[in-house]
Amino acid sequence: MAGDWIKMRASLCTNPKVLMIAEIIGGSTDVGRRMSTGFTGTLSEIVTSDVTRDITIGGLLRVWCATNEHTVDGVWHNSTLKVIDQVAGIPGFGDAMASAGWAVFDAEEGTVTMPNFLENNAPAKNNARSSSAERQARYREKKKAKSSEVTPADDVTQGVTRDVTSNAREEKRREEVNTSSLRSESASEEGLATKAMRTAGLQDANPSHPLLTKLLAEGVTVDELVYAASETVRRGKGFAYALTMAAGRREDAAKLQVGKPPGRRMPPPENFENKNYGQGVELV
Protein backbone atom coordinates (compact mmCIF):
# COMPACT_ATOMS: atom_id res chain seq x y z
CA MET A 1 0.00 0.00 0.00
CA ALA A 2 1.40 3.38 -1.01
CA GLY A 3 2.66 5.65 1.74
CA ASP A 4 3.75 2.92 4.17
CA TRP A 5 6.72 3.64 6.43
CA ILE A 6 9.30 1.41 8.08
CA LYS A 7 11.70 2.17 10.92
CA MET A 8 15.45 2.52 10.32
CA ARG A 9 17.84 3.38 13.13
CA ALA A 10 19.71 6.67 12.91
CA SER A 11 22.93 4.81 13.78
CA LEU A 12 22.46 2.19 11.04
CA CYS A 13 25.40 3.58 9.04
CA THR A 14 27.84 2.63 11.81
CA ASN A 15 26.22 -0.68 12.76
CA PRO A 16 28.88 -3.45 12.74
CA LYS A 17 26.55 -5.74 10.79
CA VAL A 18 26.17 -3.12 8.06
CA LEU A 19 29.95 -2.78 7.83
CA MET A 20 30.26 -6.56 7.72
CA ILE A 21 27.81 -6.86 4.80
CA ALA A 22 29.58 -3.96 3.04
CA GLU A 23 32.90 -5.76 3.34
CA ILE A 24 31.41 -8.99 1.94
CA ILE A 25 29.86 -7.36 -1.13
CA GLY A 26 32.94 -5.17 -1.59
CA GLY A 27 35.05 -8.28 -2.05
CA SER A 28 32.67 -9.82 -4.61
CA THR A 29 33.54 -9.84 -8.31
CA ASP A 30 29.85 -10.50 -9.12
CA VAL A 31 28.93 -7.23 -7.41
CA GLY A 32 31.83 -5.48 -9.16
CA ARG A 33 30.52 -6.56 -12.56
CA ARG A 34 26.92 -5.69 -11.63
CA MET A 35 27.80 -2.19 -10.41
CA SER A 36 30.10 -1.26 -13.30
CA THR A 37 30.51 -1.53 -17.06
CA GLY A 38 33.21 -3.81 -18.42
CA PHE A 39 34.98 -4.25 -15.04
CA THR A 40 35.68 -7.81 -13.86
CA GLY A 41 37.36 -7.23 -10.50
CA THR A 42 35.93 -6.76 -7.01
CA LEU A 43 33.79 -3.76 -6.14
CA SER A 44 36.27 -2.50 -3.53
CA GLU A 45 38.89 -2.09 -6.26
CA ILE A 46 36.95 0.72 -7.93
CA VAL A 47 35.01 2.38 -5.07
CA THR A 48 35.71 3.39 -1.47
CA SER A 49 34.35 1.71 1.66
CA ASP A 50 31.90 4.60 2.05
CA VAL A 51 30.33 3.68 -1.28
CA THR A 52 30.00 -0.03 -0.40
CA ARG A 53 28.44 0.98 2.93
CA ASP A 54 25.87 3.19 1.21
CA ILE A 55 25.10 0.45 -1.33
CA THR A 56 24.55 -1.91 1.60
CA ILE A 57 22.11 0.47 3.31
CA GLY A 58 20.21 0.90 0.04
CA GLY A 59 19.95 -2.88 -0.34
CA LEU A 60 18.72 -3.28 3.25
CA LEU A 61 16.10 -0.61 2.70
CA ARG A 62 14.79 -2.46 -0.37
CA VAL A 63 14.68 -5.81 1.45
CA TRP A 64 12.99 -4.48 4.60
CA CYS A 65 10.41 -2.47 2.63
CA ALA A 66 9.55 -5.56 0.58
CA THR A 67 9.32 -7.65 3.77
CA ASN A 68 6.95 -5.07 5.23
CA GLU A 69 4.82 -5.19 2.08
CA HIS A 70 4.74 -8.90 1.23
CA THR A 71 4.81 -10.74 4.58
CA VAL A 72 2.69 -10.71 7.72
CA ASP A 73 5.35 -11.82 10.20
CA GLY A 74 8.73 -11.13 8.58
CA VAL A 75 8.88 -14.60 6.97
CA TRP A 76 9.31 -15.06 3.20
CA HIS A 77 7.61 -18.32 2.17
CA ASN A 78 8.64 -20.42 -0.84
CA SER A 79 11.85 -18.38 -1.01
CA THR A 80 15.62 -18.71 -0.94
CA LEU A 81 18.44 -16.27 -0.34
CA LYS A 82 18.57 -15.77 -4.12
CA VAL A 83 15.15 -14.12 -3.84
CA ILE A 84 16.69 -11.64 -1.40
CA ASP A 85 19.43 -10.96 -3.99
CA GLN A 86 16.76 -10.09 -6.56
CA VAL A 87 14.86 -7.85 -4.13
CA ALA A 88 18.03 -5.96 -3.14
CA GLY A 89 19.34 -5.86 -6.70
CA ILE A 90 22.76 -6.97 -5.45
CA PRO A 91 24.29 -10.43 -6.15
CA GLY A 92 25.08 -12.37 -2.95
CA PHE A 93 23.20 -9.91 -0.73
CA GLY A 94 21.04 -12.66 0.81
CA ASP A 95 24.11 -14.68 1.80
CA ALA A 96 25.71 -11.54 3.23
CA MET A 97 22.60 -10.81 5.33
CA ALA A 98 22.60 -14.41 6.54
CA SER A 99 26.27 -14.11 7.54
CA ALA A 100 25.39 -11.02 9.58
CA GLY A 101 22.41 -12.76 11.25
CA TRP A 102 19.80 -10.56 9.56
CA ALA A 103 18.35 -13.37 7.41
CA VAL A 104 17.76 -17.04 8.26
CA PHE A 105 17.18 -19.53 5.44
CA ASP A 106 15.32 -22.77 6.21
CA ALA A 107 15.79 -25.18 3.31
CA GLU A 108 13.36 -27.73 4.78
CA GLU A 109 10.52 -25.22 5.11
CA GLY A 110 11.51 -23.14 2.06
CA THR A 111 11.46 -19.89 4.05
CA VAL A 112 13.68 -16.88 4.65
CA THR A 113 13.07 -15.20 8.02
CA MET A 114 14.03 -11.68 9.03
CA PRO A 115 14.74 -12.15 12.78
CA ASN A 116 12.99 -9.77 15.20
CA PHE A 117 11.36 -7.90 12.30
CA LEU A 118 8.07 -7.43 14.20
CA GLU A 119 9.84 -5.75 17.11
CA ASN A 120 10.43 -2.63 15.02
CA ASN A 121 8.03 -2.91 12.08
CA ALA A 122 4.44 -4.04 11.62
CA PRO A 123 3.88 -5.39 8.08
CA ALA A 124 1.59 -3.36 5.82
CA LYS A 125 -1.40 -5.67 6.25
CA ASN A 126 -1.21 -5.39 10.02
CA ASN A 127 -0.75 -1.61 9.77
CA ALA A 128 -3.95 -1.35 7.78
CA ARG A 129 -5.85 -3.25 10.43
CA SER A 130 -4.35 -1.18 13.22
CA SER A 131 -5.14 2.10 11.47
CA SER A 132 -8.72 1.02 10.91
CA ALA A 133 -9.10 0.01 14.55
CA GLU A 134 -7.63 3.32 15.68
CA ARG A 135 -10.01 5.26 13.43
CA GLN A 136 -12.99 3.36 14.80
CA ALA A 137 -11.84 3.98 18.38
CA ARG A 138 -11.47 7.72 17.71
CA TYR A 139 -14.93 7.79 16.10
CA ARG A 140 -16.50 6.06 19.10
CA GLU A 141 -14.79 8.42 21.54
CA LYS A 142 -15.92 11.46 19.55
CA LYS A 143 -19.47 10.18 19.31
CA LYS A 144 -19.53 9.34 23.00
CA ALA A 145 -18.26 12.79 23.96
CA LYS A 146 -20.84 14.45 21.74
CA SER A 147 -23.70 12.36 23.10
CA SER A 148 -22.71 13.14 26.71
CA GLU A 149 -23.29 16.89 26.25
CA VAL A 150 -26.25 18.06 28.38
CA THR A 151 -28.73 20.58 26.91
CA PRO A 152 -30.77 22.56 29.49
CA ALA A 153 -34.48 21.62 29.46
CA ASP A 154 -36.96 24.49 29.13
CA ASP A 155 -40.10 22.45 29.76
CA VAL A 156 -41.38 19.12 31.04
CA THR A 157 -41.35 17.51 27.57
CA GLN A 158 -37.64 18.24 27.07
CA GLY A 159 -36.90 16.85 30.54
CA VAL A 160 -38.66 13.56 29.79
CA THR A 161 -36.90 13.27 26.42
CA ARG A 162 -33.56 13.91 28.09
CA ASP A 163 -34.18 11.14 30.65
CA VAL A 164 -35.12 8.59 27.97
CA THR A 165 -32.07 9.52 25.87
CA SER A 166 -29.84 9.33 28.92
CA ASN A 167 -31.05 5.81 29.72
CA ALA A 168 -30.45 4.69 26.15
CA ARG A 169 -26.92 6.12 26.27
CA GLU A 170 -26.26 4.39 29.56
CA GLU A 171 -27.35 1.04 28.09
CA LYS A 172 -25.10 1.61 25.07
CA ARG A 173 -22.21 2.46 27.37
CA ARG A 174 -22.71 -0.80 29.25
CA GLU A 175 -22.71 -2.76 25.99
CA GLU A 176 -19.47 -1.07 24.90
CA VAL A 177 -17.88 -1.82 28.28
CA ASN A 178 -18.90 -5.48 28.01
CA THR A 179 -17.56 -5.69 24.46
CA SER A 180 -14.32 -4.06 25.56
CA SER A 181 -14.00 -6.53 28.44
CA LEU A 182 -14.47 -9.50 26.09
CA ARG A 183 -11.80 -8.14 23.75
CA SER A 184 -9.43 -7.64 26.69
CA GLU A 185 -9.99 -11.24 27.80
CA SER A 186 -9.28 -12.47 24.26
CA ALA A 187 -6.12 -10.37 24.08
CA SER A 188 -4.99 -11.57 27.50
CA GLU A 189 -5.48 -15.19 26.42
CA GLU A 190 -3.12 -14.65 23.48
CA GLY A 191 -0.75 -12.72 25.73
CA LEU A 192 -0.65 -15.57 28.27
CA ALA A 193 -0.04 -18.09 25.49
CA THR A 194 2.88 -16.15 23.98
CA LYS A 195 4.31 -15.47 27.45
CA ALA A 196 4.34 -19.20 28.14
CA MET A 197 5.96 -19.88 24.74
CA ARG A 198 8.66 -17.28 25.45
CA THR A 199 9.30 -18.97 28.79
CA ALA A 200 9.83 -22.18 26.82
CA GLY A 201 12.58 -20.34 24.90
CA LEU A 202 10.71 -19.08 21.81
CA GLN A 203 11.52 -15.39 22.09
CA ASP A 204 9.85 -14.27 18.84
CA ALA A 205 6.36 -15.37 19.96
CA ASN A 206 3.91 -12.71 18.76
CA PRO A 207 0.43 -12.33 20.37
CA SER A 208 -0.95 -10.52 17.29
CA HIS A 209 -0.26 -13.41 14.88
CA PRO A 210 -3.59 -14.34 13.19
CA LEU A 211 -2.85 -18.08 13.25
CA LEU A 212 -2.38 -17.95 17.04
CA THR A 213 -5.82 -16.35 17.42
CA LYS A 214 -7.33 -19.01 15.13
CA LEU A 215 -5.73 -21.90 17.06
CA LEU A 216 -6.90 -20.56 20.43
CA ALA A 217 -10.42 -20.13 19.05
CA GLU A 218 -10.35 -23.77 17.88
CA GLY A 219 -9.50 -24.94 21.39
CA VAL A 220 -5.73 -25.46 21.19
CA THR A 221 -4.44 -25.31 24.77
CA VAL A 222 -1.47 -23.39 26.15
CA ASP A 223 0.18 -26.73 27.00
CA GLU A 224 0.01 -27.75 23.34
CA LEU A 225 1.54 -24.43 22.29
CA VAL A 226 4.30 -24.71 24.91
CA TYR A 227 5.15 -28.22 23.66
CA ALA A 228 5.30 -26.91 20.08
CA ALA A 229 7.50 -24.02 21.26
CA SER A 230 9.93 -26.38 23.00
CA GLU A 231 10.21 -28.59 19.91
CA THR A 232 10.66 -25.52 17.71
CA VAL A 233 13.50 -24.19 19.88
CA ARG A 234 15.13 -27.61 19.82
CA ARG A 235 14.99 -27.61 16.01
CA GLY A 236 16.16 -24.01 15.73
CA LYS A 237 12.98 -22.77 14.04
CA GLY A 238 10.77 -19.68 14.54
CA PHE A 239 7.34 -18.76 15.89
CA ALA A 240 5.48 -19.45 12.63
CA TYR A 241 6.93 -22.98 12.61
CA ALA A 242 5.65 -23.57 16.18
CA LEU A 243 2.11 -22.50 15.24
CA THR A 244 2.15 -24.74 12.18
CA MET A 245 3.35 -27.65 14.33
CA ALA A 246 0.57 -27.10 16.89
CA ALA A 247 -2.05 -26.96 14.12
CA GLY A 248 -0.66 -30.11 12.52
CA ARG A 249 -0.65 -32.04 15.80
CA ARG A 250 -4.29 -31.04 16.45
CA GLU A 251 -5.27 -32.10 12.92
CA ASP A 252 -3.46 -35.45 13.24
CA ALA A 253 -5.16 -36.11 16.57
CA ALA A 254 -8.56 -35.40 15.01
CA LYS A 255 -7.85 -37.80 12.13
CA LEU A 256 -6.82 -40.57 14.53
CA GLN A 257 -9.99 -40.04 16.56
CA VAL A 258 -12.18 -40.27 13.46
CA GLY A 259 -10.40 -43.35 12.12
CA LYS A 260 -10.41 -45.30 15.42
CA PRO A 261 -12.14 -48.73 14.91
CA PRO A 262 -15.11 -49.49 17.18
CA GLY A 263 -14.41 -51.74 20.15
CA ARG A 264 -15.42 -55.41 19.98
CA ARG A 265 -18.51 -56.40 21.86
CA MET A 266 -18.37 -59.57 23.99
CA PRO A 267 -21.36 -61.93 23.68
CA PRO A 268 -23.73 -61.96 26.68
CA PRO A 269 -23.06 -64.70 29.25
CA GLU A 270 -25.15 -67.80 28.87
CA ASN A 271 -27.75 -68.66 31.52
CA PHE A 272 -26.89 -72.24 32.24
CA GLU A 273 -29.60 -72.60 34.88
CA ASN A 274 -32.50 -71.96 32.49
CA LYS A 275 -30.98 -73.64 29.43
CA ASN A 276 -32.88 -76.75 28.18
CA TYR A 277 -30.56 -79.72 27.75
CA GLY A 278 -33.32 -82.23 26.78
CA GLN A 279 -35.39 -84.80 28.68
CA GLY A 280 -33.48 -86.62 31.39
CA VAL A 281 -33.34 -90.48 31.29
CA GLU A 282 -33.85 -92.44 34.46
CA LEU A 283 -31.26 -95.14 34.95
CA VAL A 284 -32.46 -98.54 36.28
pLDDT for res 281? 46
Region of poorest pLDDT, from 72-86, 96-110, 182-196: 182-196
Tell me, yes or no, whether 20 and 110 share the same domain.
yes
The angle subtended at Cα 242 by Cα 241 and Cα 244, nearest 5°, is 65
One-letter identity of residue 164: V
pLDDT for res 283? 44
Tell me, yes or no, whether 197 and 101 share the same domain.
no
**pTM recorded for the entire structure:** 0.45
* Residue 5 located in a structural domain: no
Q: What is the mean pLDDT of residues 181-194?
A: 68
Give the structural domain span for 40: 12-120
Across the chain, mean pLDDT equals 80
Q: What is the mean pLDDT of residues 99-104?
A: 96
How far, in Å, are 47, 240, 267 from residue 115 at the CA level? Answer: 31, 12, 62
Q: Is the pLDDT of residue 272 over 50?
A: no
* Residue 71 located in a structural domain: yes
* Residue 226 located in a structural domain: yes
How far, in Å, are 75, 169, 173, 174 from residue 142 at the CA level? Answer: 38, 14, 13, 17
Domains: count for the chain: 2
* Residue 282 located in a structural domain: no
**In the chain, where does DSSP find H-type helix?**
16-26, 29-34, 49-70, 81-88, 93-100, 117-120, 124-147, 156-199, 210-217, 222-235, 239-258
Q: What is the mean pLDDT of residues 127-134?
A: 53
The tens digit of pLDDT for each residue in 24-37 reads: 999 999 999 999 99
Beta bridge mates, 106: 111
Q: What is the mean pLDDT of residues 115-144?
A: 67
